[in-house]
A and B are shown apart, each in its own frame.
Chain A
Amino acid sequence: MSATTHDEAHHADEPKGFTRWLFTTNHKDIGTMYLVFSLTMFFIGGMMAMVIRGELFEPGLQLVDPYFFNQMTTMHALVMIFGAVMPGFVGLANWMIPLMIGGKDMALPRLNNWSFWILPFAFAILLSTLFMPGGGPAGGWTMYPPLILQTGMAFPFLIFSIHLMGISSIMGAINVISTIFNMRAPTMTLMKMPLFVWTWLITAYLLIAVMPVLAGAVTMLLTDQYFGTSFFNAAGGGDPVMFQHIFWFFGHPEVYIMILPAFGIISQIIPTFSRKPLFGYASMVYATASIAFLSFIVWAHHMFTVGMPLAGELFFMYATMLIAVPTGVKVFNWVATMWRGALTFETPMLFAIAFVILFTIGGFSGLMLAITPADFQYHDTYFVVAHFHYVLVTGAVFAIIAGVYFWLPKWTGHMYNEKLAKTHFWLSTIFVNVLFFPQHFLGLAGMPRRIPDYSTQFADWNMVSSIGGFAFGLSQLLFLYLVISSIRGPKNATARVWEGAKGLEWEVPSPAPHHTFDTPPVVE
């Protein structure tokens, strides 16, 4: 099999410096740019979270006006979802999918370049709204009308930036699908593909299905605001609840867009460090597809309190509960993969184990939230905030971090400092729980979401949560340091990197050469 590539000197005519990155069509370069962008947005969104936790440190207003607080909660969500988590996964897809399937690049390299370079502009537009008269959007990332229509100058910029993010995501998804179907090595059959590739294939279909729906919803907001339509204006015969239905028809699959690739990463890491094949490969694929299907018929569980008919509430409750079955299958399969393995605990494995444990906690609270009568109490409280941060921070973000530690030596050729990385793991894992676990208590005790100030009965757990937040935020600087020092460090990593590593990406040298698999490898 041919893992090596032809001489690098052959590509001496390629541009250097900034133009290399601006014009690049190389999947590795574009993957790197996505990941750097994602990390940047992670810190920008993180700073917004620090403002939020700073203001909530004790009762009373100390730092910011309530309206600015609302801008922070809105922008924190938009930046983290569309700027940090999604581009993070696209970056990993760019880097790893061609390497994993033995293809020489993405199928549509110029489209790939374009879908990345839209993002900095989209976020420049979005973030610039914070400096406009009237400030940024403050109606929540869910953008419910009529409230969002009270946004000032920021409003059209918000809509257009979301359009741009959607275009970028759709093009990225088209690229992933066409790559997986066209660029595989001839012997790489679909059911031999690594699970990360499978989960991304399904995620890409979800993206293509729902991003246009979001674009439609926000365009209707735009015409309601400026062109006299009344899609969501009750006074004009429209329906404010219809927006929520359309938004969550996008929004719920979006949640799985942010978690399915995470399942894929974890399914690569756990077998590697258990030195055992993944348990139930086929059922993992089917479970992923079932979750994707179910994601389209559960959206209204985000809206149990809007006053739906009883039959609707029952349907969405049952459908939502069903998701627990394929998700359970996944967790059981990971545990069965570890069962009777020969486990070692390098940093990627530590993050993967923390993912399984903490994501499952988010799954439990998700099951509780699915129960409609109980949701009447939980809805729009900190219980929900705790729930989705368990699935998104200790779920999606932990999986991305695990994936970065797992593949970083392959990308940079340098083995990161394991001791420091484990310190990063322990600090992150302890403080993320100090940060989010008390929020369950706050929500159950009656604290609503998205408030800048609260009754004194909520003071203590908010202070604990804020301390956890500051410490978790600071711990991530260690991650930044480790990534930078790995990029700059000497090339000392082996091709295989991990003793138990299996798959085509480990057949190429570390760092992976600029061009790989010019001739397709043979999969056994």
Chain B
Amino acid sequence: MRLSKRMGVIAGGLALFVLGGVLQPAFADYALNMTEGATGQSHAVYDLHMTIFWICVVIGVVVYGAMFYSIIQHRKSKGREAAQFHHSTALEIVWTIIPLIILVSMAIPATGLLINMEDTSNSDMTVKVTGYQWKWGYDYVGEGVSYISSLDAQSEEARGLDASRTPESVDHYLRNVDHPLVLPTNTKIRFLITSNDVIHSWWVPDLGWKKDAIPGYVNATWAKIDKPGVYRGQCAELCGRGHAYMPIVVVAKKPEEFQKWLAAQKKKNLPSPEDNAKASASAEGAAAQPVEVAGRRNGVSDAPLSDNGLAAVMTYERDAWVNGAGALAQPSDVRAAR
């Protein structure tokens, strides 16, 4: 192929690529780049990202420039004779030293930012985040407010293979939850992140970071949100079949509104005397229940739960939340009932 023809092919391909992007109306709100986010950290990360990006662009222009100059000018079809030089110690030292200098200039701001991001001291409040397959648990430490946040009902209807509605008909498909995490602005919030089963990763891009939720570990990090708003994210670490279905929604409110919200939650969470009575009744009921083995599946693979696994689930269900039955289901009971 001749050069002109080859360039034509490249130009054609690029044009198709660009046109495809411009013509489609749905592209109105598409994003090409990292969000600048809503915290000081996320802005700093964005700036660092753009700095490195432009450094790479400049290096790319120089390297690709030299290469394309050779491709265009030093071709045999132009009657060029090949030079026979094969090394230059001076040149090789230069192109070892210059990249080193560039790297040091990148490492300095990166180090400063990293030290800042890892400093969780002097926080004003703490939120504990727990990953479950496949939902998030939030606990306002010391406030007695905690709840579970799962995928919203509309997304739930639209997500199956034989879904009753289309993803397009859902607002924030797969990025909406039933109970968002409510946080105050202008407050240094410390997050303690852990998991109850497998490894998850808690990620809201507008906060500027993600952190893995690991069973047996409590990871600490922090954020200080600049302005009120709704910030969306989702689990970032493969955690099984429902990995795509555990979104995160952070609603940032002004501190005084947040305090009002928190007070309302506390009131809601206080159990009434009737609740207590009901709870103990249901606990007794659960403890008294015979072991029934339905064809339970653990949702991860098609393999049925083992006796041990099933007994653990039953013990958990009898004891979790308000069902403080204190009764252990034994694997032997399960085996007997199978």
B82 near A342 with CB under 8 A, answer yes
B248 to chain A, nearest CB (A): 11
Q: Which of A146, A241, A342, A455 contacts B76 (CB 8 A)?
A: A342
Chain B stretch 152-192: residues in CB contact (< 8 A) with chain A = 158-161, 163, 166-168, 172-175
A239 B216 Cβ-Cβ under 8 A = yes
CA distance A444 to B45 in the complex (A): 12
Q: With A305-B211, A364-B60 given, is the CB distance from A321 to B107 under 8 Å?
A: yes
Q: A59 at the A/B interface (Cβ < 8 Å)?
A: yes
Set A152, A325, A444: member contacting B96, Cβ < 8 A: A325
**Cβ A328 vs Cβ B87 within 8 A:** no
Q: Does B261 contact A (CB under 8 A)?
A: no
CB neighbours of A17 from chain B (8 A): none
Contact of B56 with A135 in the complex, beta carbons under 8 Å: no
Q: Are B159 and A61 in contact (CB under 8 A)?
A: yes
Q: Which of A314, A331, A338 contacts B70 (CB 8 A)?
A: A338
A332 B24 Cβ-Cβ under 8 A = no
Interface string of B208-224 (1 = CB under 8 A from A): 11111011110111000
Q: Which residue of A lies closest to B244 (CB)?
A: A451
Closest residue of chain B to A279, judged by CB?
B86
Are the C-beta atoms of A377 and B67 separated by less than 8 Å?
Answer: no
The answer for the CA separation of A460 and B9 in the assembled complex, in Å, is 24
Interface flags for A142-164 (1: CB within 8 Å of B; 0: not) read 00101100111100000000000
Which residue of B has the minimal Cβ distance to A62?
B161
| SS class, residues of chain A in contact with chain B | helix
Which chain B residues lie closer than 8 Å to A340 at the CB level? 70, 74, 80, 82-83, 85
Q: Is A258 an interface residue (CB 8 A)?
A: no
In the bound complex, CA of A463 to CA of B123 (Å): 43
Q: Is B288 an interface residue (CB 8 A)?
A: no
Of all chain A residues, the one with the shortest Cβ separation from B72 is A343
Q: Does any Cβ of A come within 8 Å of B270's Cβ?
A: no
A371 in the interface, Cβ–Cβ < 8 Å? yes
Most buried by B among A278, A280, A374: A374
Query: Smallest Cβ distance from A352 to chain B, in angstroms?
Result: 11
Find residues 4-50 in chain B having any chain A CB closer than 8 Å to their own CB. 9, 13, 17, 20-21, 24, 26-27, 29-35, 41-42, 44-45, 48-49
Are A448 and B70 in contact (CB-based, < 8 A)?
A: no
**Are A444 and B31 neighbours in the complex by a CB distance under 8 Å?**
yes
Asked if B20 and A464 make an inter-chain contact with CB atoms under 8 angstroms apart, the answer reads yes
Residue A276 is within 8 A (CB to CB) of chain B in the complex: yes
| Number of A residues, CB within 8 Å of B | 103
Residues of B within 8 A of A59 (CB): 167-168, 173-174
* B 316-335 binary contact with A (CB < 8 Å = 1; else 0): 00000000000000000000
- Does chain A have a CB within 8 A of B117? yes
Q: A133-B303, A150-B198, A329-B95 are in contact. Are A66 and B87 (CB under 8 A)?
A: no
**A453-B303 contact given A146-B215, A329-B92, A422-B1, CB 8 Å threshold:** no
Question: Are B233 and A446 in touch, CB under 8 angstroms?
Answer: yes
Which of the 9-residue segments A211-219, A259-267, A353-361, A394-402 touches chain B?
A353-361
CA distance A240 to B118 in the complex (A): 22
Q: Cβ of B212 and Cβ of A360 under 8 Å apart? A: no
Interface 1/0 per residue, A428-445 and B, CB below 8 Å: 001000100000010011
> Are the C-beta atoms of B107 and A317 separated by less than 8 Å?
yes
How far is B201's CA from A520's CA once the two chains are assembled, in angstroms? 59
Chain A residues with CB under 8 A of B45 = 373-374, 376-377
Nearest B residue to A461 via CB reads: B30
Are A152 and B174 in contact (CB-based, < 8 A)? no
Check B115 for interface membership: any CB of A closer than 8 A: yes
Binds A, one of B142-150, B234-242, B252-260, B274-282: B234-242
B86 touches A280 (CB 8 A): yes
In the assembled complex, B136 has its CB within 8 A of some CB on chain A: no
Question: Counting chain A CB atoms within 10 Å of each CB, which of B26, B59, B85, B114 scores highest?
Answer: B114
Given A146-B198, A147-B199, A380-B201, answer yes or no on A450-B117 (Cβ-Cβ < 8 Å).
Answer: no
Q: How far is the CB of A266 from chain B (nearest CB, A)?
A: 13
Q: Are A60 and B167 in contact (CB under 8 A)?
A: yes
- Bound together, the chains give a CA A336 to CA B91 distance in angstroms of 10
**A-chain residues with CB within 8 Å of residue B114 when the two chains form the complex:** 310, 313-314, 317, 372-373
B81 within 8 A of partner (CB): yes
Beta-carbon contacts under 8 Å, A230-251 to B: 234-235, 238-241
21 A-B pairs in the complex with CB atoms less than 8 angstroms apart: A133-B303, A146-B199, A240-B214, A241-B214, A276-B84, A279-B85, A305-B210, A317-B111, A325-B96, A336-B88, A338-B71, A343-B71, A343-B75, A361-B60, A364-B59, A374-B52, A376-B45, A450-B238, A455-B175, A456-B173, A457-B29
Q: A-contacting residues of B (Cβ < 8 Å)? A: 1, 9, 13, 17, 20-21, 24, 26-27, 29-35, 41-42, 44-45, 48-49, 52-53, 56, 59-60, 63-64, 66-67, 70-71, 74-77, 80-88, 91-92, 95-96, 99-100, 103, 106-107, 110-111, 113-115, 117-118, 158-161, 163, 166-168, 172-175, 193, 197-199, 201, 203, 205, 208-212, 214-217, 219-221, 233-245, 298, 300-303
A residues apposed to B, CB below 8 Å: 59-62, 64-67, 70, 133-135, 138-140, 144, 146-147, 150-153, 234-235, 238-241, 274-283, 305-307, 310, 313-314, 317-318, 321-322, 324-325, 328-329, 331-332, 335-336, 338-345, 353, 356-357, 360-361, 364, 367-368, 371-374, 376-377, 379-381, 422, 426, 430, 434, 441, 444-446, 448-457, 459-461, 464
